[in-house]
Amino acid sequence: MTHEAAHQTACGAIHEALLAEPLLTSPDQVPFADGLYFFYEEGELCNHGSKGRIVRVGNHPRSQGGLVRRLKLHYSGNKNSSVFRKFLGGALLRRADPNDPCLAPAPGKGHWERQDEKACPRCRPTEALVSALLRVHFSFRCVRISDMNERNELEARLVATLAACRVCQPSSSWLGQYAYSEKVRASGLWNSQYVGDPTIDQLTLGRLLALVSASP
């Protein structure tokens, strides 16, 4: 099997395996404390995910027991507590007005898209829009992975593998096309870290599938 075919097969296996996990819409529904989460977005389907394309892989990389807290920061935190929210809000602002002053002087350089810069009165309402967008148009699945090192390694390999799949492409109306990150736009994932990294190998894929089977 060529390298290209190997990670496309892996992308299909990942999408398929995750269907065994319940589709959730609130962090309070997660029944365990440590694991990875996989977001789905309304209207985003692909050949490997005919019931839903994975649009983001996430983790709580440095804290044990932090899965639910991490998800809550996405659902109801703010743009400085979640790069996912920063991406989503920036894309909403840019889609509405590419010249929005809160995104100036350049993609990724405006106060909305810069880490730790405060939202101004003009972009502050975007926080509520991001929260509503997540509640209404996104859902997620989780896999329990208790070991931190294993979780961090799997996060990186999964992002890289899903990003590298040439079979799965975002829809023509995907919101992520308005993200400032070139890696988001090119990968079709609301991820930038690990895009372009080495993809998953067969042994690690087998371990992931075992963890999915064992996940409550």
- Residue from 69, 109, 114, 122 that binds Zn ion (CB under 5 A)? 122
CB of 29 to Zn ion, least distance (A): 26
Q: In whole angstroms, how close is the CB of 216 to Zn ion at the nearest point?
A: 26
Select 109 or 122, whichever has its Cβ closest to Zn ion: 122
The site that binds Zn ion (CB under 5 A) totals a number of residues, namely 9
Yes or no: say if 57 and 162 are a contact pair by the CB < 8 Å rule.
yes
In angstroms, what is the minimal distance from the CB of 167 to Zn ion? 4
Of positions 19, 20, 120, 132, contacts Zn ion by CB under 5 A: 120
Q: Which of 135, 137, 102 is nearest to 118 (CA)?
A: 102
| Residue 206 C-beta: closest distance to Zn ion, Å | 18
Per-residue DSSP letters for the chain? --HHHHHHHHHHHHHHHHTTSPPBSSGGG--SSSEEEEEEETT---SS-TT--EEEEE--TT-TT-HHHHHHHHHHS-TTT-HHHHHHHHHHHHHH-TT-GGGTTSTTTSTTTSTTPPP-TTTTTHHHHHHHHHHHHEEEEEEE---HHHHHHHHHHHHHHHHH-SS----TT-GGGG-S-HHHHHHTSS--TTTTS----HHHHHHHHHHHHH--
Residue from 83, 165, 195, 211 binding Zn ion (CB under 5 A): 165
Residue 135 touches Zn ion, criterion: CB under 5 A: no
Interface with Zn ion (CB under 5 A), residue from 91, 92, 168, 189: 168
Closest to Zn ion by CB, 72 vs 183, is: 183
Q: Residue 123, interface with Zn ion (CB under 5 A)?
A: yes
Judged by CB under 5 A, the chain residues 5 through 24 that form the site for Zn ion are 11
Question: What's the closest the beta carbon of residue 210 comes to Zn ion, in angstroms?
Answer: 21
- Torsion sign across C-alpha atoms 51, 9, 84, 21: positive
| Beta carbon nearer to Zn ion, 82 or 199 | 199
Both structure tokens of 129? 């829009």
Q: Which of residues 75-114 bind Zn ion (CB under 5 A)?
A: 102
The verdict on 48 binding Zn ion (CB under 5 A) reads yes
Judged by the rule CB under 5 A, the positions of this chain that interact with Zn ion are: 11, 48, 102, 120, 122-123, 165, 167-168
